[in-house]
C-alpha cells in the first residue's frame, strides 16, 4: 500500500497520540509521568484562576507538549469580539508554550450572556461571511492560526443553504484557519441529521486539518449526544481510519469527560489509534474494540 | 425558505438563546415573549425555522439544547454547593437554582463566577426559618471556598517574619492579608454544621448563634474554620488596611487581661495565622 503523507499548510507537527488533561489525573500524571505524547487542555479551566489547576499544569507543561482547546471563544457569535478574553488566551498560551490553540465552529452566547454550550449557526452565506471575518480578526490578534473543531449538532436551521461540511470547508479556506476534525462529532452529527459521514469527510480540505478528536457518545436511538463518557465505537474508528488514509497522520486526541476512568484506560483506548497510524487497513477496524 | 426571507444571524442567535434558556423548556420558550418578539413566525410554525429530523420534531431538537443548558449549570451548582443542597433537599435546591439561573444567567466565559450571587439570591428568596437561614450561611461558606480556590498566591509572611516586627513598628506596619482569605460573619454555626455533615451525614438544623468563620487557601488546599469574635475583629481590621497597632486596639478593647496575658494571647494568634499562611510577606 502506498502511504500518503499530506502535510498541513502550516507544517504544524503530528504530535502523536494524546488525551484531554482532566483534574482526576493530575496526581497520577505528576507522580508517574506516564507515557503520553501530548495533552490537550480546556483553556477556560485555566483562565481566571491562580489555584491548583495551574500549579499542576505548569509541571505537566514542562514535560509534555500542550495544546489549548476552548469552548467559549464563540467565533460565530454576533456579539463584539472579546479582546480581553483573547489576551487571557494569549497569556495562557505563552505560559504553557501551547503548540496551537483553538475552539469550535459555533457560538456560545449572545447579548452578553453565555450558554456554555456549542450552538450551531445557520449555514448561510451571511453566517459564513460573519464567521470568516471573526476568525480572521481573532487570528490576526493572536498572531497564529486558530484550530477550529466541527461541533456535534442536534438541529438544522431551515434557513441553511449549504451542508455543514461545505460550510466548514469554505470557512477553513476563506479564513485560512486550521481544522480540528472530530470524527466522533462527524458521526454524531450525521446520525442526527440523517447524513452520510463518508460524504462529510470527503468534503473536508485535509491540508487544513492539524488535529483529530476521538470520543465516545450516547446513542439514544432517536439521536446521539456527544457525551464523551465512554470508549470509541467501531464506526468512529472507521472514520478515523479513513481520515488517516487521507492525511498520513495527524495529532490525535481522545476526549473522555464524564465517568472518567483511571488514566491507564485512556492510554489503552487512545493507543488503539496506533494501529491505523501504523498502516493497518480500514477492513481491520472491527478488531479495534 | 428563500434567502430574501431568511432571518438575520443576530436574530436567529438571540431567538435560539431565548428559547433554550427558557426554564420550562423549548416549547414554552418558543411561545414566550422574548422569542416571539424576535421571530413570531416560529411560534406559529416552528418548522419554518428549525427542521425536524426523521426521528425528532423541531421542538424536540431544540429541547436537547434547552435540557443541556440547565443540566450543565445545575451540575456546576450542585458541585459547588453540596451542603446547601443537603439542607434544602434536592427538589428545593434545584428549584432555587433554576430561579437563580433565570435571574442571573452566566455572563462570563469561564464558570468560576457563575454562582457568585447565589448566596445573596438565596438570602432574598428562601422562605424565612432556621433551615433557609442556615442554608444561606452555608452557601456563603461554600461560595467563599470557590473564591479562594482561584485566588492568587502570595509569598507568605512566616511566624519568624512576624516576630521580627518590633513593637516600635506596630504603629505604622500594615499586614497584607492574602487574597485567598474570606472573613464571614454568620448567624448560624454553619461551619460546625458542615463538619457534622461530613462526619455523620444529616445533623439536626441548629438554632441561630453568631459565628465567625474564615475560609482560606494554604498552598493548594482550601480550609475553613471558626474564629473567636476578637480574632475575627482583628483579622477584619487588618484586612481593611489598618495598622497593626490600630487593629489590635480595636479588637481587644474592653478585654480584661494583664499586658503580659494580652501579649501571650496575641502572640499565639499571630503564630497560628502565620502558620496558616494568612499574611503576605510584603
The answer on B93 and B25 residing in a single domain is yes
Q: Which of A44, A126, A192 sits opposite B53 (nearest CB)?
A: A192
Cell representation of residue B213: 468563620
> Nearest-CA distance from B197 to chain A in Å?
24
**pLDDT score, position B4:** 46
- Whether residue B21 and residue A48 make contact (CB cut-off 8 A), yes or no, is no
Residue A108 dihedral angles phi and psi, to the nearest 5°: -120, -10
Domain-located, residue B139: no
Interval B65-90 mean pLDDT: 97
- For A233-248, the pLDDT digits (tens) are 999 999 999 999 999 9
Please list, residue by residue across A183-198, b when 16 or more beta carbons sit within 10 angstroms of its beta carbon and e when fewer do: bbbbbbbbbbbebebe
Please list, residue by residue across A60-86, b when 16 or more beta carbons sit within 10 angstroms of its beta carbon and e when fewer do: bbeebbbbbbbbbbbbbbbbebbeebe
- Whether residue A117 and residue B62 make contact (CB cut-off 8 A), yes or no, is no
- For B215-243, the pLDDT digits (tens) are 999 989 999 999 999 999 999 999 999 99
The answer on B156 and B276 residing in a single domain is yes
The pLDDT > 90 percentage for chain A reads 91
The H or E element containing residue B213 is strand B211-218
Domain carrying residue B168: 152-280
pLDDT at A289 over 50: no
**pLDDT score, position B85:** 97
The answer on B96 and B205 residing in a single domain is no
Domain-located, residue B234: yes
Per-residue confidence band for A283, with pLDDT thresholds at 50, 70 and 90: low
Please list, residue by residue across A248-266, b when 16 or more beta carbons sit within 10 angstroms of its beta carbon and e when fewer do: ebbbbbbbbeeebeebeeb
The answer on B238 and B121 residing in a single domain is no
DSSP B68-86: HHHHHHHHHHHHH-HHHHH
The answer on B180 and B78 residing in a single domain is no
DSSP A174-218: HHT-EEEEEHHHHHHHHHHHT--HHHHHHTS-GGGEEEEEEE--E
- Taking the Cβ of residue B158 and every Cβ of chain A, the question of whether any pair is shorter than 8 Å is answered with no
CA angle centred on B102, ends B96 and B107, rounded to 5°: 120
Instruction: Specify the CATH number for the domain of residue B176.
Output: 3.90.930
Interval A12-31 mean pLDDT: 97
Domain-located, residue B132: no
- For A160-219, the pLDDT digits (tens) are 999 999 999 999 999 999 999 999 999 999 999 999 999 999 999 999 999 999 999 999
Q: By the 8 A CB rule, do B44 and B32 touch? A: no
A17-276 architecture in CATH?
A: Alpha-Beta Barrel (3.20)
- For B161-219, the pLDDT digits (tens) are 888 898 889 999 999 999 999 999 999 999 999 999 999 877 999 999 999 999 999 98
The answer on B205 and B276 residing in a single domain is yes
Domain-located, residue B134: no
Per-residue confidence band for A285, with pLDDT thresholds at 50, 70 and 90: very low
* pTM of the predicted structure, to 2 decimals: 0.92
Q: Which of A30, A15, A91, A102 is nearest to A63 (CA)?
A: A30
Domain-located, residue B164: yes
The answer on B167 and B94 residing in a single domain is no
Q: Where are the alpha helices (DSSP H) in B8-117?
A: 9-20, 26-31, 33-38, 40-44, 58-80, 82-88, 90-103
**pLDDT score, position B253:** 83
Domain-located, residue B24: yes
The answer on B203 and B104 residing in a single domain is no
Q: Give chain B's domain count.
A: 2
* Edge-to-edge strands, sheet with B181-186: B181-186, B211-218, B221-227
**pLDDT score, position A79:** 97
Helix axes A83-96, A125-142, angle to 10 degrees: 50
- Taking the Cβ of residue A84 and every Cβ of chain B, the question of whether any pair is shorter than 8 Å is answered with no
The answer on B194 and B99 residing in a single domain is no
Q: What ipTM is given for this predicted complex?
A: 0.94
**pLDDT score, position B167:** 84
- Taking the Cβ of residue A126 and every Cβ of chain B, the question of whether any pair is shorter than 8 Å is answered with yes
Interface test with B, best of A23, A48, A51 (most B CBs within 10 A): A51
The answer on B189 and B85 residing in a single domain is no
Per-residue confidence band for B117, with pLDDT thresholds at 50, 70 and 90: very high
The answer on B158 and B115 residing in a single domain is no
DSSP at B21: T
**pLDDT score, position A280:** 67
- Whether residue B9 and residue A121 make contact (CB cut-off 8 A), yes or no, is yes
Distance CA B156, CA B95 (A): 42
Q: Which of B12, B69, B152 sits opposite A157 (nearest CB)?
A: B12
Q: What is the CA radius of gyration of chain B?
A: 26
Q: By the 8 A CB rule, do A213 and A20 touch? A: no
The residue in chain B having the minimum alpha-carbon distance to the alpha carbon of residue A51 is: B150
- Taking the Cβ of residue B53 and every Cβ of chain A, the question of whether any pair is shorter than 8 Å is answered with yes
The answer on B206 and B270 residing in a single domain is yes
Q: Rounded mean pLDDT of chain B? A: 94
Amino acid at each position: 500500500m502506498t502511504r500518503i503523507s499530506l502535510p498541513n499548510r502550516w507544517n504544524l507537527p503530528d504530535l502523536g497520540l494524546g488525551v484531554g488533561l482532566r483534574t482526576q489525573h493530575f496526581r497520577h500524571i505528576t507522580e508517574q509521568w506516564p507515557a503520553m505524547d501530548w495533552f490537550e487542555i480546556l483553556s477556560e479551566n485555566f483562565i481566571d484562576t491562580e489555584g491548583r489547576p495551574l500549579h499542576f499544569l505548569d509541571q505537566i507543561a514542562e514535560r509534555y507538549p500542550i495544546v489549548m482547546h476552548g469552548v467559549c471563544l464563540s467565533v460565530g457569535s454576533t456579539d463584539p469580539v472579546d479582546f480581553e478574553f483573547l489576551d487571557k488566551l494569549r497569556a495562557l498560551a505563552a505560559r504553557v508554550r501551547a503548540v496551537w490553540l483553538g475552539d469550535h465552529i459555533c457560538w456560545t452566547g449572545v447579548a452578553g450572556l453565555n450558554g456554555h454550550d456549542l450552538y450551531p449557526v445557520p449555514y448561510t452565506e451571511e453566517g459564513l461571511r460573519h464567521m470568516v471575518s471573526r476568525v480572521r480578526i481573532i487570528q490576526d490578534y493572536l498572531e497564529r492560526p486558530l484550530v477550529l473543531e466541527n461541533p456535534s449538532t442536534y438541529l438544522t436551521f431551515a434557513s441553511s443553504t449549504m451542508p455543514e461540511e461545505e460550510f466548514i470547508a469554505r470557512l477553513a479556506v476563506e479564513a485560512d484557519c486550521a481544522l480540528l476534525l472530530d470524527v466522533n462529532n462527524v458521526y454524531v452529527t450525521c446520525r442526527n441529521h440523517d447524513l452520510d459521514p463518508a460524504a462529510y469527510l470527503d468534503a473536508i480540505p485535509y491540508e487544513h486539518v492539524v488535529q483529530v478528536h476521538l470520543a465516545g457518545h450516547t446513542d439514544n436511538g432517536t439521536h446521539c449526544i456527544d457525551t464523551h463518557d465512554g470508549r470509541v465505537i467501531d464506526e468512529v474508528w472507521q472514520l478515523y481510519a479513513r481520515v488517516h488514509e487521507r492525511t498520513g497522520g495527524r495529532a490525535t486526541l481522545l476526549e473522555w469527560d464524564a465517568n472518567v476512568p483511571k488514566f491507564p484506560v485512556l492510554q489503552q483506548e487512545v493507543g488503539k489509534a496506533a494501529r491505523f497510524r501504523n498502516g493497518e487497513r480500514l477492513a481491520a477496524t472491527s478488531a479495534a474494540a | 425558505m428563500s434567502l430574501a426571507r431568511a432571518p438575520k444571524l443576530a436574530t436567529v442567535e438571540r431567538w435560539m438563546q431565548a428559547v433554550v434558556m427558557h426554564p420550562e423548556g423549548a416549547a414554552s420558550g418558543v411561545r414566550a415573549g422574548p422569542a416571539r418578539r424576535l421571530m413570531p413566525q416560529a411560534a406559529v410554525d416552528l418548522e419554518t425555522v428549525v427542521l425536524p429530523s426523521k426521528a425528532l420534531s423541531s421542538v424536540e431538537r431544540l429541547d436537547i439544547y434547552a435540557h443541556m443548558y440547565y443540566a450543565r449549570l445545575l451540575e456546576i451548582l450542585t458541585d459547588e454547593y453540596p451542603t446547601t443542597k443537603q439542607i434544602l433537599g434536592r427538589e428545593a435546591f434545584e428549584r432555587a437554582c433554576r430561579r437563580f439561573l433565570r435571574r442571573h444567567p452566566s455572563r462570563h466565559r469561564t464558570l468560576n463566577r457563575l454562582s457568585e450571587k447565589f448566596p445573596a439570591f438565596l438570602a432574598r428568596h428562601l422562605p424565612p426559618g432556621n433551615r433557609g437561614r442556615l442554608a444561606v450561611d452555608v452557601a456563603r461558606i461554600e461560595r467563599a471556598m470557590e473564591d479562594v480556590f482561584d485566588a492568587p498566591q502570595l509569598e507568605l509572611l512566616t511566624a519568624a517574619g512576624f516576630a521580627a516586627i518590633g513593637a516600635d513598628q506596630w504603629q505604622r506596619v500594615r499586614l497584607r492579608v492574602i487574597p485567598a482569605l474570606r472573613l464571614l460573619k454568620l448567624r448560624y454555626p454553619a461551619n460546625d454544621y458542615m463538619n457534622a455533615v461530613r462526619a455523620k451525614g444529616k445533623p439536626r438544623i441548629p438554632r441561630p448563634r453568631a459565628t465567625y468563620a474564615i475560609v482560606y487557601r494554604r498552598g493548594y488546599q482550601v480550609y475553613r474554620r471558626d474564629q473567636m469574635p476578637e480574632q475575627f475583629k482583628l483579622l477584619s481590621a487588618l484586612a481593611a488596611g489598618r495598622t497593626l497597632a490600630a487593629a489590635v486596639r480595636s479588637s481587644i478593647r474592653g478585654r480584661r487581661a494583664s499586658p503580659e496575658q494580652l501579649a501571650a494571647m496575641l502572640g499565639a494568634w499571630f503564630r497560628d495565622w502565620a502558620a496558616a499562611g494568612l499574611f503576605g510577606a510584603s
